[in-house]
Structure 1
Amino acid sequence: AWLKTLDGLQPVDVILRWINDSSCDPLELNAGSHLGSAGLLQAVRLRNLTVVNPIGCSIIENQALHAYLPKLAKHFLGESLLLPSPQTYWCGLAQERDHVLANLDRLLIHETSRAERIHPATLSAEQLKQLRQNILANPNHYVGQDDCPCSTTPVLLDNTLQARSFVLRTFLVSSQNDYTVLPGGLTRVATAPDDPVEAVQYGGISKDTWVLASEPVRQVSLLSSQDSGLYTLGDRGELPSRVAESLFWLGRYAERADSVIRLLRAVFLNLLQTDSDQNVDSNCLHYLLQAVTQLTETYPGFVGDGAAERLANPDQELLSIFLDKTRSGSLAHTLQGLLYSVSTLRDRISPDIWRVFNDIDEGLQEIQQQRSKPGLSTTDSEMLNTALDELNRLVTNFAAFSGLAMDSMTHGQGWRFLMIGRRLERAQQLAHLLRATVVNVTEHDSALLEYILLICDSLMTYRRRYRSAVNTQAALDILLLDEANPRAMSYQLRHLEADLLQIPSDTTGSSYQHRRDSRLALQALTCVRLAQTDQLASASDGERVQLAALLDELDHILPELSNTLTGTYFILTEQRQLGRLEQDQREQG
């Protein structure tokens, strides 16, 4: 078995398994599982890999065996169970089956091949009849069990204490010939008063449970306290590809969210200023609204069917793009992807960065609850004000993340993949924004460009440098060619090229000749550097043709660069082998 890292494949000898048997290998078991590793069972069969908690050992948790636990304990251990299990009846025995069928309404039913419980008392008459028929047809597959009501625990909900059912899982540690029960455990609490807690693995809300000590506890560590003979792994580049990919997508999701946040903030600001001051120029609002749809790809939105009505009354569509987490492309949906990427990097993210993302998550949930709370009479204008406040807070959150990533994370290979994802996504978002707003000439170009500079956090730079009304050529110079502007296209591409040259290559060389990813970054940077702003700003038949051509080129190169990085560093199968096979076939043919 092998683990793919940036420096190539590294051998794996032992895996500590926690996930369920059926989720371990999507190739042979549950094809829908995203938790396991394809081919794991074959590696175990070939004895190339040892799995602690062997696959299949969960057979001892089968409900059919629970009926025999007292006898098994007596036979193997020579003692009785200290903690009795619920009375269990295996329907494979005629007497037990008859008892289950006679008392079906007060028992719980388990299928021996499944973990879920069946509550006959909650079934309809037709469902209950079908269950009886299934038990009679395949009695070996069913187990009946006395329904033991759960204990309850107080929970704080809406500032009141309420009772909820709960299940507590405790943990034991083996020591010589005995086991020690650890204090505390894992508790799963039901979410509603009448909901049962099915198991510790699923349903309800899980919480760590701590037992308070009666006195201060002495800290004990198993780590060596010796100052000599320390062994350090250093930064050998053995970064798992999975971690590199998560950091790459964390960077991309962060920049994608930041771009949408800044665009939505500009739109909400325009809407609110228009409502309060009739002298505010709102003519460019429609172009910004259409840009929102095009950047987020939340079609039809402000450009497809029904666009005219939404442009006239944009509030609900904007709030949906902001808060609807089920809508692909919405800000909430993007933030979900961001938070998922963060959740896979617990050992790579500092506590301060964690606090930033927790704040993002909590703020988003709060405003979503405020919008959906029944009986709450909030006008669209009030909701827009609340949304604008949240967008301003999110801008600060992402600025905090950016600063912490630069100043707190070690600038190793993982950090470089984070930066590569950020640079790549910021470049693509800028290209999409310019295509949606600047390529086509409008009579409101000056006002629209001022908003674009504001969205790209470059308006102060423009005013300090030019001290004039916004000019298209000057604005494009700042947004595309200014390599000192952290928001400019050339700045992203220059740093992207430099970061790519610092990560390990999948070839023996590290020059442009051997590295496709670096060549693509250099190609994009060269295209931008060779562009002339006077030609980019010039228009023909209402379109800035040269600008459109440059953006077309970038729209081709940047996704290709992303695909190259994915194929080189994130996918286990080496794609170049396919290329060699095709070359051999051409030579033979």
Structure 2
Amino acid sequence: MPVLKEYVAALSQPTLGTEATRYDEVVAPDGVLRPPWKRLAAVASGIGAGELSRVDEQIVRFLADDGVTYSRPGERPTAWRLDPVPLVVDAGSWREVEVGLAQRAELLNALLVDLYGERTLLRDGIVPAAAVLAHPGFTRIMAYGSRNDPRPLVTTATDLGRDATGAWRVLGDRAQAPSGLGYALENRKVLSRVLPELYREADLHRMAPYLWAFRSALLQSAHGELPDPRVVVLTPGTHSETAYDQAALASNLGFPLVQGSDLTVRDGWVLMKALGRLERVDVILRRVDAAWSDPLELRGDSQLGVAGLAEAVRRSRVRVVNGLGAGVLENPALLAYAPAVCEHLLGESLRLPTVPTWWCGDPDALAHVLDRLDSLAVRSIEGGPPLDGRPEILRRRILAAPHRFVAQERLPLSQAPTWTGGRTTGQAAPRPVSVRAFTVRYGSSYRTLLGGLGNVLQDGRTVASKDVWVLKAETGEPDQGLAEVMPVSSGRSLPATVPRVLEDMFWVGRYAERAEDLLRLLLAAHVLVEDYRSRPRTSGGLSLEVITGLIGRLSGRASDDYDEEFRSLLLDPERPGSVAQSLEALRDALSGVRDQWSSDVWRIFGVVDRAQSTLVGSPGSHQMAESAGRMLTGVLSLAGVTANMIRDPGWHMISVGRYLERGQQVRHLLVALTERHGLDVDREVLAAVLAAAESSVTHRRRYRDYVRPAGVLDLLLKDPENPRSLGFSVARATEHLAALPASTGSTRPERLLAALTTEVEETDVAVLVAIGGADRPNLRSFLDTAGAQLDRLAEAVADLHFATGPAPRRFGSLPTLEPVP
């Protein structure tokens, strides 16, 4: 039975449905489909449970391939969840939202100007001063700064929900650093791919024009008449809850994603530490909370912001979007006074009503709240979810500091079908939903995104997202109501190749090579394990000990059980030196420069994650080799993505990191040749080393099947045409290092590389294979020297290309000076 028909049938039976007090987004009370779903019924009615289950699986895979994550405070990043059933709204219903949100954005902007300027609202008692000044978002150092900026609010987000009558109500505002637009863009991209027929039938507003308007709005925000203003997106970094959202937005807008350490302030100007120079920044799209934005005037322990940023803002030498101090607008206490504020500042009635709210600092409101603690949601004015606890406990907390709390009605939010269960037991069950809507000041007015980010709620907590489809009133209507977008500069944007980006790119190359080489070594070792684990005294068994000894040198040997050991290396990200740890570090390094990469790069981890999941669910030894092979395929695909990158300093630095790491890994493999174990054992070891270095075929073509130490050393140390040799790696690293802006031909990294190149070229293989007792001392000495030189080289690269000055220090940790006698 089609999922839509099942849903309608369930709602028509009260025992199978949910609360009758909820407004249903799909079905009217008389059981008839609402207008937007009537337009989609022809296609939607053909989608059964099996089809929707398949779509849900595709969504999970596509989101994983795009690396879409979200992390709650204090938790590790988790996969983003998108429900396959969109939230569909007709043009007439959304028009009410569009007009109301435009008015609300105007109101919030006027409110922000007043609170940091004349403060007429506080002076005239329209808003109690304690409700504002007690809020942590009120940034006192920006008081009266709004006189220089009559439009401090460029973009807003507002959380909306429908009440039992279907009327839209405002649940809260987001103005500090509004998040969610990047997720909304991703939701739309994925859902349009997995439900193409329904998407085409819907004739909904595409999001691209809104994004163009957003880009134009940021460029137009710069102070003065600048022909080519520089815009950056300031992020707290990869450990932010919404790191993906920030990177996706920066990438879609085409502006560099920077961290506080990438910027500096000189003489009141904000400058970006581009390679070899400082570039002026004119507009900062801020995703760092105001309190953390300037360690000089705000939180002295912050390492996320830019010292001196507040002064640069006050001097109108940079535009911060949204303005420092905008976080006060997220104060839920202001919702209680929204109608009066709107009348006072705009001379209009508030179009979008808010959820009924009472600020407990008002004696009458406090009495009302204390009488209804069982039915109201109590929360701190600082934000966050409603407070839990028995009424008597809440009463004591409120009475201890009434001005710090608000209470709100618990609205029976509208419900929409949400997919639950699996292929055979799945169904579309009604779940409460809310919508995060977005506005941007474009030209002289605020424009609302025709769409948004839907949230599926369970016990007041978001458990999944929905794509919000706003249908067009007429076919041919321009998307987002924007027939054309204001012209923007066609010049090149500010390059984002700051030292931090180069460092991340360097480690992208190193971790990718490290994971690849260890996977190859594990695969070579697994062949020996399968043949010789039960024959320890044979030549194969002894060669297995040599090869697993190499693995132990990299990651430590924790178990004599080969299956357990190899599983740990493939699956345990907490184990130093493991494949899993290298891949996790690679993911982190890529996340730091996510805006520099296409979405193709995240498919690597989709392949890797699925291979690891298969290995977890399969105990067989053969599965380890299969999963390791699939993981290797995923890692190798990074080279294909890298090949399509622009040849900028970041691309060259990836190659420097890759070839330095390859040199170290080859050196590590060749340690197996420093000791002699007997002719048969040595032959097995040499064959395994060639396999791990991906040089077996090359060796066979050159030397047939006659494997000797001299031939292997010549191929893996000196051969300038073998991409896996130390000589080749050093030569390529030299070329890429020379292409970096800070390289002059005589820098320390270049000198070290030149010395290592000479040593490799002048080394005689015959001398290296010379036997001295039970080992080859000359080879051991050469490998130790080469390893030390590669380590020094990596340090020199970091000192020259990554260093950006001393790390930030807390002002409170400065040493106490003794008085001079």
Q: Which amino acid aligns with 1:20?
A: D
What secondary structure is seen at the aligned counterpart in 2 of 1:60?
helix
What secondary structure is seen at the aligned counterpart in 2 of 1:148?
coil
Counterpart in 2 of 1:255? 513
Alpha-carbon distance in structure 2 between the residues aligned to 1:57 and 1:217: 35
User: 1:544 and 2:776 equivalent?
Assistant: yes
What secondary structure is seen at the aligned counterpart in 1 of 2:596?
coil
User: 1:142 and 2:423 equivalent?
Assistant: no
Q: Which amino acid aligns with 1:255?
A: E
Cα deviation, residue 117, structure 1: 1.8
Cα deviation, residue 195, structure 1: 4.4
| Equivalent runs, 1:210-359 vs 2, <5 Å | 210-211=469-470, 213=472, 215=475, 222=485, 233=492, 239-274=497-532, 281-295=540-554, 297=555, 299=556, 302=557, 307=558, 310-311=559-560, 313-350=561-598, 354-355=599-600, 357-359=601-603
Deviations 1:510-530 (A, max 9, x none): 232xx1111121122223223
Provide closer, same or farther for how the CA distance between residues 273 and 418 of structure 1 changes in structure 2, counting only shifts above 3 A. Answer: same
- Which of the numbers 312, 324, 328 marks the counterpart of 1:59? 328
- Which of the numbers 587, 607, 610 marks the counterpart of 1:363? 607
Provide closer, same or farther for how the CA distance between residues 93 and 232 of structure 1 changes in structure 2, counting only shifts above 3 A. Answer: closer
User: 1:450 and 2:687 equivalent?
Assistant: yes
- Which of the numbers 158, 161, 177 marks the counterpart of 2:427? 161
Provide closer, same or farther for how the CA distance between residues 232 and 294 of structure 1 changes in structure 2, counting only shifts above 3 A. Answer: same
Provide closer, same or farther for how the CA distance between residues 47 and 178 of structure 1 changes in structure 2, counting only shifts above 3 A. Answer: closer
Provide closer, same or farther for how the CA distance between residues 287 and 11 of structure 1 changes in structure 2, counting only shifts above 3 A. Answer: same
Alpha-carbon distance in structure 2 between the residues aligned to 1:564 and 1:223: 47
Alpha-carbon distance in structure 1 between the residues aligned to 2:796 and 2:315: 33
Counterpart in 2 of 1:393? 630
Q: Which amino acid aligns with 2:580?
A: A
Aligned-residue identity in percent = 32
What secondary structure is seen at the aligned counterpart in 2 of 1:486?
coil
Alpha-carbon distance in structure 1 between the residues aligned to 2:303 and 2:612: 29
Deviations 1:457-515 (A, max 9, x none): 11111111112442122211111111111000111111111221221127xxx232xx1
Return 128-137 or 57-66, whichever deviates more. Answer: 128-137
| Equivalent runs, 1:469-488 vs 2, <5 Å | 469-488=706-725
- Which of the numbers 561, 568, 572 marks the counterpart of 2:804? 572
Alpha-carbon distance in structure 2 between the residues aligned to 1:79 and 1:445: 88
- Which of the numbers 361, 380, 384 marks the counterpart of 1:92? 361
Q: Which amino acid aligns with 2:779?
A: L
Alpha-carbon distance in structure 2 between the residues aligned to 1:334 and 1:210: 40
Q: Which amino acid aligns with 1:119?
A: L
Alpha-carbon distance in structure 2 between the residues aligned to 1:83 and 1:91: 23
What secondary structure is seen at the aligned counterpart in 1 of 2:518?
helix
What secondary structure is seen at the aligned counterpart in 2 of 1:67?
helix
Deviations 1:51-97 (A, max 9, x none): 12111111011122122112212222223322222222222223333
Deviations 1:357-398 (A, max 9, x none): 3332223333444455xxx6x4x32xx333322322333333
User: 1:491 and 2:732 equivalent?
Assistant: no
Alpha-carbon distance in structure 2 between the residues aligned to 1:259 and 1:19: 38
Is the 8 Å Cα contact of residues 446 and 469 (structure 1) preserved in structure 2?
no
Cα deviation, residue 169, structure 1: 0.9
Return 30-39 or 552-561, whichever deviates more. Answer: 30-39
- Which of the numbers 163, 170, 194 marks the counterpart of 2:437? 170
Counterpart in 2 of 1:116? 384
Cα deviation, residue 19, structure 1: 3.6
Cα deviation, residue 246, structure 1: 2.8
Quote the RMSD (CA, aligned, Å). Answer: 3.4
What secondary structure is seen at the aligned counterpart in 1 of 2:639?
helix
What secondary structure is seen at the aligned counterpart in 2 of 1:108?
strand
What secondary structure is seen at the aligned counterpart in 1 of 2:510?
helix
Is the 8 Å Cα contact of residues 273 and 280 (structure 1) preserved in structure 2?
no
| Equivalent runs, 1:402-551 vs 2, <5 Å | 402-406=639-643, 408-435=644-671, 437-443=672-678, 444-505=681-742, 510-512=744-746, 515-551=747-783
Cα deviation, residue 46, structure 1: 6.0
Deviations 1:74-133 (A, max 9, x none): 2222233222222222222233334434433433332223x322332xx4x6xx765543
Provide closer, same or farther for how the CA distance between residues 396 and 137 of structure 1 changes in structure 2, counting only shifts above 3 A. Answer: same
Deviations 1:294-347 (A, max 9, x none): 22x3x4xx2xxxx5xx22x12122112212234443323322332333344444
Q: Which amino acid aligns with 2:690?
A: L
Alpha-carbon distance in structure 1 between the residues aligned to 2:713 and 2:512: 24
Tell me which of the two structures has the higher relative contact order, counting C-alpha pairs closer than 8 angstroms and 6 or more residues apart: 2
In structure 1, runs of 5+ residues without a counterpart are: 198-202, 576-589
Provide closer, same or farther for how the CA distance between residues 87 and 318 of structure 1 changes in structure 2, counting only shifts above 3 A. Answer: same
Is the 8 Å Cα contact of residues 367 and 387 (structure 1) preserved in structure 2?
no
Cα deviation, residue 3, structure 1: 0.9
Alpha-carbon distance in structure 2 between the residues aligned to 1:348 and 1:365: 22
Cα deviation, residue 222, structure 1: 4.1
Alpha-carbon distance in structure 2 between the residues aligned to 1:77 and 1:59: 19
Alpha-carbon distance in structure 2 between the residues aligned to 1:223 and 1:554: 58
Alpha-carbon distance in structure 1 between the residues aligned to 2:622 and 2:374: 54
- Which of the numbers 780, 788, 812 marks the counterpart of 1:556? 788
What secondary structure is seen at the aligned counterpart in 2 of 1:551?
helix
Alpha-carbon distance in structure 2 between the residues aligned to 1:108 and 1:280: 73
Alpha-carbon distance in structure 1 between the residues aligned to 2:293 and 2:629: 43
Is the 8 Å Cα contact of residues 535 and 541 (structure 2) preserved in structure 1?
no
Cα deviation, residue 259, structure 1: 1.2
Q: Which amino acid aligns with 1:168?
A: V
Is the 8 Å Cα contact of residues 250 and 418 (structure 1) preserved in structure 2?
yes
Counterpart in 1 of 2:452? 185
Is the 8 Å Cα contact of residues 686 and 709 (structure 2) preserved in structure 1?
yes
Alpha-carbon distance in structure 2 between the residues aligned to 1:551 and 1:347: 39
Return 535-544 or 446-455, whichever deviates more. Answer: 535-544
TM-score by length of 1: 0.79
What secondary structure is seen at the aligned counterpart in 2 of 1:143?
strand
TM-score by length of 2: 0.58
Deviations 1:390-445 (A, max 9, x none): 32233333333324433x2232323211211211121122223333x333333422
Alpha-carbon distance in structure 1 between the residues aligned to 2:708 and 2:667: 19
In structure 2, runs of 5+ residues without a counterpart are: 1-269, 808-821
Alpha-carbon distance in structure 1 between the residues aligned to 2:790 and 2:716: 17
Cα deviation, residue 293, structure 1: 3.3
Cα deviation, residue 204, structure 1: 4.1
User: Across the two proteins, how many residue pairs are aligned to each other?
Assistant: 527
Is the 8 Å Cα contact of residues 566 and 624 (structure 2) preserved in structure 1?
no
Alpha-carbon distance in structure 2 between the residues aligned to 1:431 and 1:167: 58
Provide closer, same or farther for how the CA distance between residues 54 and 430 of structure 1 changes in structure 2, counting only shifts above 3 A. Answer: same
Is the 8 Å Cα contact of residues 5 and 239 (structure 1) preserved in structure 2?
yes
Provide closer, same or farther for how the CA distance between residues 130 and 237 of structure 1 changes in structure 2, counting only shifts above 3 A. Answer: closer
Is the 8 Å Cα contact of residues 608 and 634 (structure 2) preserved in structure 1?
no
Alpha-carbon distance in structure 1 between the residues aligned to 2:723 and 2:443: 61
Cα deviation, residue 256, structure 1: 1.5
